[in-house]
Amino acid sequence: MPGAWESGLVGGSGWGAARELPAKGQVVGVVLVESLVETTLASVSQSRLGSPPPLRGGSFTEPQRGQEKLGQAALSSRGQEDSPRLGRQGASMLGLPGPRPPPAGILLALPFLPLLLLLPAAPAPHRASYKPVIVVHGLFDSSYSFRHLLDYINETHPGTVVTVLDLFDGRESLRPLWEQVQGFREAVAPIMAKAPQGVHLICYSQGGLVCRALLSVMDEHNVDSFISLSSPQMGQYGDTDYLKWLFPTSMRSNLYRVCYSPWGQEFSICNYWHDPHHDDLYLNASSFLALINGERDHPNATAWRKNFLRVGRLVLIGGPDDGVITPWQSSFFGFYDANETVLEMEEQLVYLRDSFGLKTLFARGAIVRCPMAGIAHTAWHSNHTLYETCIEPWLS
């Protein structure tokens, strides 16, 4: 809640609401004067009507049976209590106390009211306000997988609005990535619209590619930190359990025959399959990764690059013990050459050509790399040390 100086109101209701602020040094005095006056009125009212019911959780408890009618009778008779016809005897007959003078403490405080106007204004209490966090899951995942991450954020940044998007769960995560991008775009747009100060994205595994595409195609996104959590940003080229389950008769050496066909591009994993031994086929057939990397010309390349550079910070997280992302350096935009030697980000053509803004982002100091050993692929979003080291510092 903003303080009085920020909201433009003194108090929330009654005398102090919906009027211009007085001089800065008079604010506390005005509030205290109004408070004393209201306290006096309340004291007189309580001396007639008795004490109000106790407060619980910021609201009045319900009256006991029979008290509601008594309260209504008392309120309806307030205009009659001082009537000569009713008097003390009439009030006594109704079971109500007669009129009493204000408490002595109030009377003693009245001469000092002018001095209260001279008291300096107290500073408004500071309350941290954190940007909303949007979480996008990976292949065969669901929102339930991120319950630990949700707890960590609530512990370190209480009050943060965290949305774990429950879209394309389980086998639905195999649907073409452009279809998923459209679905996630429709889900994140209203969240961004309600957060003019910006949002953070935490995107895991395949979800990191979905999020990078979102940054490219959304003209007015307001992402402050894009946290890519063990995501194959430069593609995937490895015999993983996922791959064997999906294509049991194929190996990485011949999967290009499936993935680089129109039929294969209907599977999300083929949208970022990157065979370093068949680069020409990759560039011509890839309907997703080659486009968001700017490796193939298309009419939206300039606009997508401009949109991507709206991001405040890119945080890249991964490690050598991941066991799924192959090579693991793909999490940091590194990848194999034709000899399967890993070239780091700064040696990649997409960086050297600055085809989608990666070099520009690095030049302005907006890329953070956070490698961590000893973490398996399915444990990135539940490892507390990883959260404290690589995620929490960037959730402003």
377 included as an active-site residue: yes
Tokens 């294969």 found at:
264
Which run of H or E residues covers position 152? helix 147-156
Tokens 């292949």 found at:
139
- How far apart are the two ends of the chain, measured CA to CA in Å? 18
- 274/258 Cα distance (integer angstroms): 12
166: Cβ contacts below 8 Å, ≥ 6 apart: 142, 143
Question: How many helices (H) and strands (E) are present in the chain, helices listed first?
Answer: 18, 10
Q: Which of 322, 330, 355, 381 is catalytic?
A: 322
Q: Which of 341, 339, 317 is nearest to 327 (CA)?
A: 341
Q: What is the greatest pairwise CA distance in the chain?
A: 108
Q: Can you give 196-248 as a three-state secondary structure string?
A: CCCEEEEEECHHHHHHHHHHHHCCCCCEEEEEEECCCCCCECCCCHHHHHHCC
Q: Give the pair of three-digit tokens for residue 213.
A: 């595409």
* Three-class secondary structure of residue 53 per DSSP: coil
Which run of H or E residues covers position 369? strand 367-371
The per-residue DSSP string of 68-124 comes to HHHHHHHHHTGGGTT-TTTHHHHHHHTT-PPP-PPPHHHHHHGGGHHHHTTSPPPPP
Q: Give the pair of three-digit tokens for residue 361.
A: 């982002």
Q: Which of 145, 205, 216, 286 is catalytic?
A: 205
- 268/377 Cα distance (integer angstroms): 18
Catalytic residue ranges:
205, 322, 377
